[in-house]
Amino acid sequence: MTTLFITGGAGFIGSAVVRFLMTHTDWQIINIDKLTYAANLDALEGAAASKRYHLAQVDICDGAAIEQVFHQYQPDAVMHLAAESHVDRSISGPATFIETNIVGTYTLLETARHYWISLSGQKREKFRFHHVSTDEVYGDLAPNDPAFSETTPYSPSSPYSASKASSDHLVRAWHRTYRLPVVITNCSNNYGPWQHEEKLIPLMINRALAGEDLPVYGNGQQRRDWLYVEDHAHALYQTLTQGSIGQTYNIGGSNEYSNIEVVKKVCALLDELVPSAQGTYTEQITFVKDRPGHDQRYAINNNKITQELGWLPKETFDSGLRKTVHWAVRLHSLKHDNETQPRVEMALITNHKGHP
C-alpha cells in the first residue's frame, strides 16, 4: 500500500485531494495539518471514518514533530500543499507567510531529504516530493501577452506570491544540489465546494445571500484563469504518479474571466436558484479601492501537462460554477434552517466529484 503525506490536507485544495484519493485509490493518507483558521474538518468527514486516513496535527515549521511523523508512517511520497494563501492577509501581515511558506517548506525539504537518504532499493526509487504552487509566482500579464508557461520568468508582486516563489526555488535547489526527486505544479485560481469564505466566489455568494454589498476591487477588470478544485485534484494525482522528476507542470482551467464577470455570473445563478424579493443580486455590487500592487491578468498554458500526462479539465467554468453555487446555497440553507445540524449531514451535500 502506498503511503502518502499530504501537508495542508484540511485546507480547500488539500481536502479535495484527500477525498479524490480516498475514492480512487487504496492508498494510506496521512494528513499533516496545523489546523489554522483555513482548515475545515467538515470537508473530511467521509475520509475520517476510514482506517486508511490519519490526521497528524503538526506545524510544518516544527522540524522535530515532522521528523517524528516521517519515522512513524514511512511515506512513499509527500504532496506539499500547506501554505498561507490569501493575498490580502499577506499584505497586512507578511510575517506568517514568510514563516509558513518559506521556512516551513525548507523544514519539510530537509526532513524529506534525510528520510530519503536513509531509504534503499525500491522504496528509495519510488519516493517523490510533490510541491504544489501557484501561477501568481509569474507576476501578471498584459492583455495581449501569451499565457504563462513553465519557462515564464518569475516576477511575484505580493508578499504571498513572493513567498511561494521562494518555496519553488528551494524545491528546485534541493533537487539540483541534493538530487531529491521532486515535481512542481503551478495552478491557477481554484474554486468549488468547501472553499474558505474569504475567497472571491464564496465571499460573493455569502454576502449576496445575507443582503450585503458585494465589494469588487478597482474596476473589476482584473482577469484570472479559473480551475475547478476537483479537476485540480485529479491533475495533482496524475502529476505525482506520472510526472517526470525535476519537472514543472502548469495546471489551469482554460477559463479566463474578469473579476466583475465572475461576480455577475454568481449573481445570475443566485437570481435563478434563490430569487431575492429586493431585485437582482447585481444591484448589491459596489466598487472599492483597489488592492495595492494588484495583478491585472493571469492565464495558464496547459500544453505540457496535457501532452505529457494526458490531463484536461472536465469542467467548464459555467458547469463548475453552477455546482459550486448550488452547493453553497444548500449549505447556507441547512445552516440557517437548523444551527445544530450535524456536521456529517452537511458533508453529505457533495459526493467525491463535487456534485450537489
Residues tagged active-site: 135-136, 160
Cβ(160)–Cβ(90) under 8 Å? yes
Cα angle for residues 51, 53, 55 (degrees, 5° grid): 125
Those residues with Cβ within 8 angstroms of residue 178's Cβ, 6 or more apart along the chain or in another chain: 113
Q: Which long-range contacts (CB under 8 A, 24 or more apart) does 63-66 make?
A: 63/107, 63/110, 63/111, 66/32, 66/107, 66/108, 66/111
Which H or E run includes 148?
none
Helix or strand or coil: residue 51?
coil
What is the phi-psi region of residue 129: left when phi exceeds 0, alpha when psi lies from -120 to 50, beta otherwise? beta
3-state secondary structure of 173: helix
What are the percentages of helix, strand and coil residues in the chain, rounded to 5?
45, 15, 35
The DSSP output letter for 102 is: I
Q: 132-165 burial by CB neighbour count: b if 16+ within 10 A, else e?
A: bbbbbbbbbbeeeeebbebebeeebbbbbbbbbb
What residue type is 49 in one-letter code?
A
**H/E stretch holding 135:** none
Which of 143, 147, 101, 136 lies closest to 7, judged by CA? 101
Q: Which three cell numbers stand for residue 226?
A: 479559473
